Amino acid sequence: MSYPFHLHVLASGSAGNAAAVSGPAGWLLIDIGLNATDLRRRMALAGLDPSTCKGCLLTHTHGDHWRDSGMAWLAARGIPLWLHPGHLAGLESQSRAIHTLKAARMLHPFENRKGFSPARGMRVIPAEVSHDSHPTFAFRVELRDPDDSRGPEGHLGFFSDLGIWNPRHKALLEGLDLLALEFNYHPDLLDGSPRPDFLKRRISGTKGHLSNLQAGEVVASLPSSGRLQSLVLLHLSKECNTPAHALKEARLAAKSVSTIRQVEVALQDAPMAPISIGHQTACVDTLKDEDFGPLFRCVGK
């Protein structure tokens, strides 16, 4: 069965981050850490039509997750930016374009663990994570065809710049079809890198990034009987990791999750081929989670 929902990672790494989630009613950016020229080029390579972009979600305000010219591109095209109120003060002191977006009423606040719908057929649940750009958010994105209530659905988890895994976030992983998770560094490569000790401590600390091993432990903790089919490795360090190291740990962890069929690495220098988000399911119930609002429990047909 072909699904109309896809994840497109345009860039992932410390030099710039941008991804897109697409569905029948359009697509949504996650972060805009590319300049406008590079953003347009990568969108073209990914087959994304700028006229159907419905908005942009911001995870946090570190400089590799937003660029002022990218923000200006949003403003010029009338594309709204969804961000947490805690992001605004820092952006207002660094970005000219944020003032244009604000004046045009194109800034939309979200709250921790409160679901919202930035576009038809898309529901987003943000969750604050432990990273040293306060506040930083991961997202669960639930997708449906807005014109076909009986059509397919897709569930994506997007978790980058985590610092440390919080078990409370496990509710956001329920029923995912695709998990995009940071595999930032290999401990031996970090230790042997020329980076100063304070930076090594920051990266490996509870407000830095997940190592390959830590990310693999998150994957291995997932139920083996779920829906998860695809795993995307995000935010690999250029100096302190390699795709081979990250893939080795990810594939080892994925052996304990029998439903995973695809493991891919998102790269810094080129957009990744789109990955389908979907599963042959039929929703049978709606659950209420006290932290995260409505989550959908689905079973295979």
What is the per-residue pLDDT across 202-217, written as a single tens digit (0 to 9) for each?
999 999 999 999 999 9
- Does the pLDDT at position 294 exceed 80? no
For residue range 234-292, list pLDDT tens digits in order. 999 999 999 999 999 999 999 999 999 999 999 999 999 999 998 654 333 333 333 33
CA angle 67, 235, 124 (to 5 degrees): 70
pLDDT in tens, 22-74: 999 999 999 999 999 999 999 999 999 999 999 999 999 999 999 999 999 99
pLDDT at residue 2, as a whole number: 62
Q: What kind and span of H or E run contains 37?
A: helix 36-46
Please state, in angstroms and as integers, the Cα–Cα distance from residue 117 to each residue in 54, 110, 124, following that order.
11, 10, 6
Domain extents for the chain?
Answer: 6-300
Residue 292 is predicted with a pLDDT of: 32
pLDDT reported for residue 279 = 63
Q: What is the DSSP string of 152-187?
A: -EEEEEEE-S-SS--GGGGGGGTT-SEEEEE--B-H
Pick from 147, 88, 166, 157: nearest CA to 126:
157
Q: Which CATH number fits domain 6-300: 3.30.70.20, 1.10.460.10, 3.30.565.10, 3.60.15.10?
A: 3.60.15.10
**With contact defined as beta carbons under 8 Å apart, do 39 and 73 qualify?**
yes
Q: Distance between terminal CA atoms of the chain? A: 13
Give how far the C-alpha of residue 181 lies from the chain's centroid of Cα atoms, to the nearest Å: 8
The per-residue pLDDT for 1 is: 52
pLDDT the model gives residue 223: 86
Q: What is the pLDDT of residue 298?
A: 32
State the average pLDDT for the chain. Answer: 91
Per-residue pLDDT tens digits for 171-206: 899 999 999 999 999 999 999 999 999 999 999 999
